[in-house]
Structure 1
Amino acid sequence: MSKLIYIILASGVISLGALAGVLTLAINEAKLTRALMLLVSLSAGAMMGGAFLHLLPEAVEVLPPDLMLAIVLLSFMGFFLVEKLVHWRHCHKGHCPTHTFGYLNLIGDAVHNFIDGLIIAAAFLTDIRLGLVTATAVALHEIPQEIGDFGVLLYSGFTKTRALTANFLVALTVVLGGVIGYYLSFWLENLVGWLLPVAAGGFIYIAASDLMPEIRKEPSLKKSLIYFVTFLAGAAMMYLVK
């Protein structure tokens, strides 16, 4: 099977995660919250493990260590800027148009998903196993995010059907990013080597800035321990597939 087929299949499966929003219509809110927190913990561990155990070791074989680390840092800061400037989670001023906010959310998701597609392409072009590891980490992160985005669209005034359709169409930009990343790799020398530390910086930012703070908010010691063990399980999963 060609690497392009792997990229399309993996990114296509990730796009289907956008349909996870429909689960919120059938699951009790308390149960959904517990399940999402476990998934968030697992995702944080998988992303940290994927970055430090797979992406960075592969990147250092292609780029000088100092350049590679500089790209990781720039990527970390870049993801912060993208999240701040494009992917707004809510309106701070309290009087922005609800539909405008919904569309801003979709634009931010499209940018984020396109970058995910580029990252997945770079990983598969480096090694099939690395591609599977990266796609798994992205998928674990995308499911709770897509459920949250579905709720955001409903809150902004979208109907359930329209929110689900819009979320899915935007999720397909993962496939677009993957295909474009595949073909760009033949035109731009060493593109894959540059995208690996970008992916690592993005994974570290998402895990450390978005996911782990949610785990830290848990006041219950028992639940915190459960989430920590789940976090370790995500990291261990990445170690076992080295």
Structure 2
Amino acid sequence: MQTKKAIFTPIEITIIKKKDAMLGFAAGVMIAASFWSLLSPAIDMAENLKMIAWLVAFIGFFGGGVLLFTGDKIFTHFEKKKIPNNQKKSFKRSMMLVLSITLHNIPEGLAVGVAFGSIAYGLDGATLGAACLLAFGIGLQNFPEGTAVSVPLRREGMSRRKAFFIGQLSGIVEPISGVLGALLVLKARFLLPYLLAFAAGAMIYVVVQELIPESQSNKKKDLMALFTLIGFSLMMILDIALR
């Protein structure tokens, strides 16, 4: 018995293309953030703290990737029992995406907390101006990062309000971890490089495993790749300009 091929109207095809472009854009934002917002600062911090920078970066980065790899397997096992077949792939992609961005926001919040806490402890190089600039820069970066969560969720069929809410919710860990960073500044300083690299590994895993392959399933692969470059460029400009 032959199965009928899905036939899409011109409007549906246009919507699919736009949503795939959004997915490519989110992938670009996450790739840029994983280096300029996470890995590069992790290496710089490790060197300033007289740690073995390449080892810190490797342990953190690989650990983050392994965590998401393990989570991928757990989601797959869970899907077989609890989730209808037509929702399995989108559910896993959405959960992994939200988890990776949330993990990314924890060390960023800690970094801001450590910056302000260092002033209270009188640590060398700690100034109010530098701490405020760091907080402003990370806050501004959260706009494209929140978009990187909300846009793919919207692509999966979520309502605008719900996708926006979850995108904002993924950032709620940032002020919480900021307070912890300020309270535990001396201990957090040595933990922070590992956490930054850890978040980078988690984000790269999601991009490679879920976002780019899905955006490239579109016939216009070259156009989808262009949107990935646009997302990467936007995040790169923000990261470098706000250093």
- Pairs within 5 Å for 1:84-95: 84-86=73-75, 91-92=79-80
Distance 1:72 1:178, change over 3 A: same
Q: Post-superposition shift, 1:58? A: 0.8
CA distance in 1, matches of 2:42, 2:150: 27
Alignment-derived partner of residue 147 in structure 2? 140
Q: Post-superposition shift, 1:132? A: 4.3
What are structure 1's unaligned runs of at least 5 residues?
1-27, 152-159
**Which of 227-236 and 122-131 deviates more?**
122-131
Alignment-derived partner of residue 31 in structure 1? 14
- Of 177, 180, 187, the match for 1:181: 177
Distance 1:183 1:83, change over 3 A: farther
> 1:233 and 2:230 equivalent?
yes
CA distance in 2, matches of 1:215, 1:110: 14
What secondary structure does 1:61 align onto? helix
Q: Which amino acid aligns with 2:232?
A: A
What secondary structure does 2:79 align onto? coil
Alignment-derived partner of residue 26 in structure 2? 43
Cα RMSD, aligned residues only: 3.7
What secondary structure does 1:182 align onto? helix
Q: Which amino acid aligns with 1:115?
A: L
Distance 1:92 1:178, change over 3 A: same
- Pairs within 5 Å for 1:82-231: 82-86=71-75, 91-92=79-80, 96=82, 108=95, 112=99, 114-122=102-110, 124-125=112-113, 127-128=134-135, 131-132=138-139, 134-147=141-154, 151=158, 173-185=169-181, 186-187=183-184, 188-190=187-189, 191-218=191-218, 220=219, 223-231=220-228
Alignment-derived partner of residue 52 in structure 1? 35
Structure 1 residues 110-129: Cα deviation after superposition (integer angstroms, max 9, x where no partner): 97265354244246556346
Q: Post-superposition shift, 1:199? A: 2.0
**Which of 128-137 and 69-78 deviates more?**
128-137
Q: Which amino acid aligns with 1:74?
A: G
Distance 1:90 1:31, change over 3 A: farther
TM-score normalized with structure 1 length? 0.63
CA distance in 2, matches of 1:216, 1:67: 33
Q: Post-superposition shift, 1:173? A: 4.2
Q: Which amino acid aligns with 2:15?
A: L
Q: Which amino acid aligns with 1:234?
A: G
CA distance in 2, matches of 1:178, 1:90: 29
- Of 59, 71, 77, the match for 2:66: 77
May I ask how many residue pairs the two structures share in their alignment? 194
What are structure 2's unaligned runs of at least 5 residues?
1-10, 47-52, 116-133
CA distance in 1, matches of 2:222, 2:143: 24
What secondary structure does 1:179 align onto? helix
Please say if residues 46 and 234 of structure 1, whose CA atoms lie closer than 8 Å, have aligned partners that are also in contact.
yes
Please say if residues 109 and 170 of structure 1, whose CA atoms lie closer than 8 Å, have aligned partners that are also in contact.
no
Q: Which amino acid aligns with 1:135?
A: N
Q: Which amino acid aligns with 1:51?
A: S
- Give the structure with higher Rg (CA): 2
Q: Post-superposition shift, 1:194? A: 2.8
Distance 1:212 1:123, change over 3 A: farther
CA distance in 2, matches of 1:207, 1:201: 10
Alignment-derived partner of residue 5 in structure 1? none
TM-score normalized with structure 2 length? 0.63
